[in-house]
């Protein structure tokens, strides 16, 4: 059956999957704040939350969330075939598909998002560290990278918005103005 899925259904499902896995908008916004506050004096959590919400509106992000979390869930239930089950269950360092899925959804936000993603993938800040820590809990092979991609995209979006606002206020000189 070919069913066209309404974007509201996709967004609701993506948000529910994040909630089921303990990921909150505020938790992602904390990462955004930590990444952007050195560059923006007086940055508020409200602006970070707003940016995260805007990123979560994008279909590409929602689709990546659904695919990645579904693979994590299937691995939790040991429903993947080998060797994929073991690769995801162990979060094999050379697997790379988790980073590839997450990184793909960052490209639309420019080089700041890409470099921020690389930094977060390496340094595991905030909830990313909790998701990446291997314990006896649920598998988060894809989810930690998805959270990094959402935070990276939101950080880049915010950086560009702040610069646009500075320019509107005349805080950045226009060297081409006559």
Taken as a whole, the chain contains a residue count of 178
pLDDT at 158: 95
Contact 14, 60 (CB under 8 A): no
pLDDT in tens, 23-47: 999 999 999 999 999 998 889 999 9
What is the per-residue pLDDT for 97?
A: 96
Domains present along the chain, CATH in parentheses: 7-168 (1.10.3760.10)
> Is residue 64 a contact partner of residue 97, using CB atoms and an 8 Å limit?
no
Across 125-146, average pLDDT: 91
Query: In terms of pTM, does the model score above 0.95?
Result: no
Query: Which regions of the chain does DSSP assign to beta strands (E)?
Result: none
- Over residues 141-157, the mean pLDDT reads 97
pLDDT bucket at 176, cuts 50 / 70 / 90: low
The pLDDT of residue 86 is 96
What's the pLDDT band for 172 if we cut at 50, 70, 90?
A: confident
- Provide the token pair at 80: 């993947």
Please give the average per-residue pLDDT across 49-76, as a whole number. 97
Q: What is the pLDDT of residues 111-123, one digit of tens each?
A: 999 999 999 999 9
CB–CB of 151/120 below 8 Å?
Answer: yes
Percent of the residues in the chain that have a pLDDT greater than 70, as a whole number: 97
pLDDT range class, residue 49, cuts 50, 70, 90: very high
**Quick one: pLDDT at residue 177?**
57
What's the pLDDT at 1? Answer: 76
Cα 33 from chain centroid (whole Å): 14
- At residue 175, does pLDDT exceed 90? no
Tell me the pLDDT of the chain averaged across its residues: 93
């Amino acid at each position: 059956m070919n069913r066209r899925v309404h974007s509201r259904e996709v967004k609701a499902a993506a948000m529910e999957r994040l909630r089921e896995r303990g990921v909150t908008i505020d938790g992602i916004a904390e990462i955004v704040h930590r990444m952007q506050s050195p560059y923006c004096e007086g940055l508020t959590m409200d602006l970070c939350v707003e940016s995260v919400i805007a990123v979560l509106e994008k279909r590409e992000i929602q689709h990546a969330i659904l695919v990645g979390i579904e693979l994590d869930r299937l691995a939790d239930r040991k429903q993947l075939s080998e060797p994929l089950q073991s690769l995801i269950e162990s979060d094999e360092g050379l697997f790379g598909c988790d980073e590839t899925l997450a990184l793909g959804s960052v490209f639309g936000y420019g080089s700041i998002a890409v470099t921020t993603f690389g930094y977060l993938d390496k340094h595991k800040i905030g909830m990313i560290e909790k998701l990446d820590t291997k314990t006896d809990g649920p598998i988060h092979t894809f989810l930690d990278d998805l959270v990094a991609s959402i935070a990276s995209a939101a950080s880049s979006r915010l950086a560009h918005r702040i610069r646009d606002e500075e320019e509107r206020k005349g805080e950045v000189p226009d060297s081409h103005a006559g």
